[in-house]
Amino acid sequence: MEIRSSTVLPAVREDIELHTADGLTLVGELARPTEGTPAATLICLHPLPTAEGMMDSHVLRKAAARLPALAGVAVLRFNTRGTASARGKSEGAFGDGEEERFDVAAALEYAEFHDLPNPWLLGWSFGTELALKWGHDPLVRGAILLSPPLKRAKDADLAAWAEFGRPLVALVPEFDDYLRPEEARQRFAAVPQAEVVGVDGAKHLWVGEPYVRIVLNEIVKRVNPAAYPLPTEV
């Protein structure tokens, strides 16, 4: 069977709640492989909620639908404060990337408490800003950024990640609305360990199964190389 955009492969899926240090409850889902210990854990930080970003934004949803089965990777998705999806609405209100520091911390605390191994941050657009600004936690193995706009995240945040020293991979669409590969390479030069991967033909929203497959393969190449490349059929 060919893997298509609507394919959902077997996993152990459970609704979860995250609890922030400032007193909010956030809703989410954890998808784990059906057998064995995950090779790694993706903590997903979704696009801008004021522009319809949420835990079900399609690349993150497809990661949760496929990667537990195909790559032995756990996928934790959640709605940041004030964000709603089919799973429900998280408490609080949009914090423009500042108050969301507590949301990132709550997800990492959940991963640590539940012994989810090798956590990587997977940010998309607004989510990349959260990863760069608030992801400097010793628990974090690295971060993968999809369509980073580098608007809320400033040069000081890049300098902080350079000092943090963990891997940083930016997947940058050729036709991105905010930051394209050439400029991205210039900006991320401030982080010696950063890798910028330009994706020909792609746009900010990664619409189309060929681009989703590129993204998921690039993720797996970093977090569980033994499972790379991903199959296209099951």
How many angstroms separate the CA atoms of 91 and 25, rounded? Answer: 6
Q: Rounded mean pLDDT of 47-51?
A: 98
How many angstroms separate the CA atoms of 49 and 32, rounded? Answer: 25
| In-domain check, residue 232 | no
| In-domain check, residue 6 | no
pLDDT score of 207: 98
pLDDT band at 210 (very low <50, low <70, confident <90, very high): very high
Q: Rounded mean pLDDT of 8-35?
A: 98
The tens digit of pLDDT for each residue in 108-133 reads: 999 999 999 999 999 999 999 999 99
Q: What percent of the chain has pLDDT over 70?
A: 100
| In-domain check, residue 231 | no
Residue 189: CATH number of its domain: 3.40.50.1820
In the chain, where does DSSP find H-type helix? 58-71, 101-113, 126-134, 155-164, 181-188, 209-223
- Angle between helical axes of 126-134 and 155-164 (0-180°, round to 10): 60
| In-domain check, residue 183 | yes
- Angle between helical axes of 58-71 and 209-223 (0-180°, round to 10): 50
Does the model's pTM come out above 0.85? yes
Contact 135, 163 (CB under 8 A): no
Q: Rounded mean pLDDT of 41-69?
A: 98
Burial class (CB in 10 A: 0-12, 13-18, 19+), 173: buried
| In-domain check, residue 50 | yes
pLDDT band at 217 (very low <50, low <70, confident <90, very high): very high
Helix or strand or coil: residue 174?
A: coil
